[in-house]
Structure 1
């Protein structure tokens, strides 16, 4: 008797098709049709980028921020995690936390940028470049008005507002984030720290 899972010899883990990656022709519809065991991915110009699994600390920060939004955001806003933003048919992003305008279609995995109030990225060692440089530029190009970047160890929140076609830092803190927009925010950073 072996401890090998049933069917494991005939089934390999999911990975993107190398030819389609070179052709850069993946779309949102392709991603939605992936098998259940496929990893979370983003699309950039039709190329798949696998999103690394979050660490315990990363996930705790995101979940605690989701809870804080749920308790403090206006009722016409809905916080969510593990859903994407459809920038275009060939470009998607998977933020760590989103604050959306209601109504929200519960069966959706992707939301249009105009429904996003705040996009949040929690920076991890393997995602520093994308979370600090690439993704903010993508969110700005999509017209998402507010972007928050959360650094870990220590937890520090940077809040940006879209001015023209670029984000400008409006507040940052490792103690308490105070903002007037998109709603009155008084977020004690210890409330989202693991």
Structure 2
């Protein structure tokens, strides 16, 4: 009498190495990822697994989300870590975003025109991406506003799409204001945000 073989798990999902080398993943592929796939972003056809955020990062994200929920007008909704398809081969997940209301609740990938504000909270491992790559991609996709939040101490930089054009013909962000104390803006809505209220 022989024992039945014990079924083994094929292991956690990971991107196909051949497709990664060819850089031919698309937004459609992201929608078909299995439920056990890690949090990923798609950059020029290559799937990148995003690192787990720190507690400090998540505290700021939650505090800002709560503040926006309490102060944003009713035609805007807050979301965290939802994918935004910036092009056919690029998708990012802002840490926090303001989107238009009225979108279907089952959406997991937004269009740039759905997003009013994208926010990134800078961590040691994401400095270059959050300071250079993502704002360039968000601006090229015509997301009107971008906020970058630095930690230790918490400092918010608020940008909006300007008339300046980059070397590739894409529009770029211009800095509206920055502060470690209070941010006052008239866009994307009239607000006065004390930085202490988003500081853990």
Bin the TM-score by the shorter chain: over 0.9
**CA RMSD of superposed structures (Å):** 1.4
Matched residue, 2:166: none
User: Aligned partners of 1:162, 1:152: CA distance in 2, in Å?
Assistant: 24
Matched residue, 2:90: 91
TM-score by length of 2: 0.90
Structure 2 gaps, min length 5? 1-5, 164-170
Structure 1 gaps, min length 5? 1-5
User: Aligned partners of 1:162, 1:10: CA distance in 2, in Å?
Assistant: 48
User: Aligned partners of 1:121, 1:91: CA distance in 2, in Å?
Assistant: 17
Matched residue, 2:168: none
Matched residue, 2:64: 65
Per-residue displacement from partner, 1:59-79 (whole Å, max 9, x unpaired)? 111111111111000110000
Matched, 1:170 2:169: no
Say whether the 8 Å CA contact 1:146–1:162 is kept in structure 2: yes
SS of aligned partner of 2:118: strand
Give aligned pairs, total: 188
Query: How far did 1:45 drift?
Result: 1.5
Matched residue, 1:3: none
Q: Which moved more, 1:147-156 or 1:24-33?
A: 24-33
User: Aligned partners of 2:28, 2:94: CA distance in 1, in Å?
Assistant: 19
**Which consecutive segments of 4 or more residues in structure 1 shift more than 6 A?**
none
User: Aligned partners of 2:11, 2:58: CA distance in 1, in Å?
Assistant: 28
> 5 Å matches for 1:176-191?
176-191=182-197
Say whether the 8 Å CA contact 1:78–1:104 is kept in structure 2: no
Query: How far did 1:14 drift?
Result: 2.1
SS of aligned partner of 2:24: coil
Matched residue, 1:161: 160
> 5 Å matches for 1:38-187?
38-164=37-163, 165-187=171-193
User: Aligned partners of 2:81, 2:23: CA distance in 1, in Å?
Assistant: 24
Query: How far did 1:46 drift?
Result: 0.9
User: Aligned partners of 1:17, 1:55: CA distance in 2, in Å?
Assistant: 28
Query: How far did 1:12 drift?
Result: 2.1
User: Aligned partners of 2:12, 2:105: CA distance in 1, in Å?
Assistant: 29
User: Aligned partners of 1:136, 1:182: CA distance in 2, in Å?
Assistant: 17
Matched, 1:16 2:22: no
